[in-house]
Homo-oligomer: A and B are copies of this chain.
Amino acid sequence: MDLDTTPALLVDRDILDRNIARMAQSAASRGLSLRPHAKTHKCSEIGRRQLGAGARGLTVATVSEAEVFADEGFDDLFVAYPLWVDAARGARLRALADRVRLTVGIDSATGARQFVEHAGTAIGVLVEIDSGHHRTGVLPEQAGTVASAAREAGLDVRGVFTFPGHSYAPDAPDSAAREEADALAAAAASLRAAGIEPTVISGGSSPTAHLDVPTVATELRPGVYVFGDAQQLELGAVSESDIALTALATVVSARDEVIVLDAGSKVLGADRAAWATGYGRILGEPDARITALSEHHATVQWPEASTRPQLGDRVRVIPNHVCNAVNLADELITVSGDAVVERWKVAARGCNT
């Protein structure tokens, strides 16, 4: 590959486009809108490809991500986060709402009143519910109470959303998808009981998005599916041929069955779920494992000393959690086969506020 240095993040454009098309078709075939989570790629070129394949808009996690995508011309954004809106954030939200169709998450009556005080009432909100991940969000049957308080404060309550993050465990995706469907149904009923008709019922995660579980959802928000990663691989949600993003790394040290690569936690991210088999995987060598990770070293146990790469050889590493890997890079190098095609800026890198 014609790249003069490592480490670098490579995106296989052909696989990327296939992943985007497949998810778009899957959602369309079930009559669901698609609003992909852009925190995974943070990249306008990829967001445009998702809209081109039929996505309704983008999901983001922070106001600063929304600002970057608005600057890049995206006009329909959902901040899937229960923002605490103080004066400064309120001013930024009002400025955003002047130029894009903006929706924001809430998960408390207190948060809704705070929202109105600083951001006004021109922005739509979705009530976040907890479908089993136990992070943010209220219980489904409390959705109507929060929605009523938000409406009383003057907000346009458009519906409910959830993230079934408990799908990220072995054998969990199917049950998590069913719990999510039940929770969304209960939350929608709770809104209706409060006299509010939800027009958006939003859910989805990459491990569950391909499962055809009956649901009242109107919208899916998967993120990781564009690239895939070692977590999705180990959860069985994708196969290696679906992996669009890898870190190109060089062997800098070697002994017996062990090689050390120049891509560490400052390239791959330090993510390692309790059920993960290592700190990432090696493309084309399913039996190799990254057994230790420092900031600039990945220690890889190869199946056999006789077949391991040599000093100076390059290998492609599949990060465990691609969202955190992308957020460490300034650019993505797109390739087609072994040819470099172009470089895409990670425009929203580091946008945490």
A residues touching B (Cβ–Cβ < 8 Å)? 4-8, 39, 61-62, 81-84, 86-89, 107-108, 110-111, 114, 134-137, 165, 250-254, 260, 262-263, 265-267, 269-272, 292, 294-297, 299, 311-312, 321, 323-324, 327-330, 350, 352-353
Q: How many protomers of this protein does the assembly include?
A: 2
Given the contacts A250-B84, A253-B108, A352 and B311 also touching, CB distance less than 8 Å = no
Chain B: minimal CB distance from A300 (Å): 11
* Minimum CB–CB distance for A126 against chain B, Å: 15
Q: A135-B292, A265-B324, A270-B324 are in contact. Are A252 and B311 (CB under 8 A)?
A: no
Additional A-B contacts beyond A83-B252, A266-B350, A272-B272 (15; CB < 8 A): A4-B88, A5-B353, A81-B252, A81-B296, A82-B253, A84-B250, A84-B251, A135-B294, A135-B297, A262-B352, A266-B324, A269-B269, A270-B324, A295-B324, A329-B350
The distance in angstroms between the C-alpha atoms of A270 and B135, with both chains bound, is: 17
A8, A87, A324: residue with the most chain B Cβ atoms closer than 10 Å: A324
Q: Roughly how many angstroms separate A311 CA and B82 CA in the complex, as a whole number? A: 11
A265 interface neighbour in B5, B86, B260, B271, Cβ under 8 Å: B271
Report the separation of the CA atoms of residues A39 and B265 in the bound assembly, to the nearest whole angstrom. Answer: 13
- Taking a contact as CB atoms closer than 8 A, the residue among B5, B7, B252 that contacts A136 in the complex is B252
Q: Which residue of chain B lies nearest to A223 when distances are taken between CB atoms in the complex? A: B295
In the complex, which residue of chain B has the Cβ closest to the Cβ of A293? B271
Residue from B4, B86, B88, B263 in contact with A86 in the complex, judged by beta carbons closer than 8 Å? B4
A39 to B264, CA, bound (A): 13
- Interchain nearest-CB distance for A86 vs B (Å): 7
* Given known A61-B295, A295-B39, A296-B81, contact A86–B266 (CB-CB < 8 A): no
- How far is the CB of A111 from the nearest CB of chain B, in Å? 6
Interface centre among A114, A252, A272, by most chain B C-beta atoms within 10 angstroms, is A252
Tell me whether B353 and A6 are in contact (CB under 8 A).
yes
Q: Taking the nearest CB of chain B, how far is it from the CB of A104, in angstroms?
A: 12
Report how far A292 CA is from B274 CA in the complex, Å: 12
Complex: chain B residue closest to A83, CB-CB: B252
Give A254 to B31 CA distance when docked, in angstroms. Answer: 35
* Chain B residues with CB below 8 A from A321, complex form: 270
> Do B352 and A253 touch across chains, with their CB atoms under 8 A apart?
no
State whether B252 touches A84 (Cβ < 8 A): yes
Q: List 15 A-B contacts (CB under 8 A).
A: A81-B252, A82-B252, A83-B252, A84-B250, A84-B251, A114-B311, A135-B253, A135-B292, A136-B252, A136-B297, A269-B269, A269-B270, A295-B324, A327-B328, A329-B350
What residues of chain B lie closer than 8 Å to A82, measured between beta carbons? 252-253
**Contact across chains for A352 and B84 when beta carbons are under 8 A apart:** no
Q: 9 tightest CB-CB pairs across the interface, nearest first?
A: A4-B88, A136-B253, A270-B271, A270-B270, A5-B353, A61-B296, A84-B252, A84-B250, A84-B312
Complex CA gap A299/B137 in Å reads 12
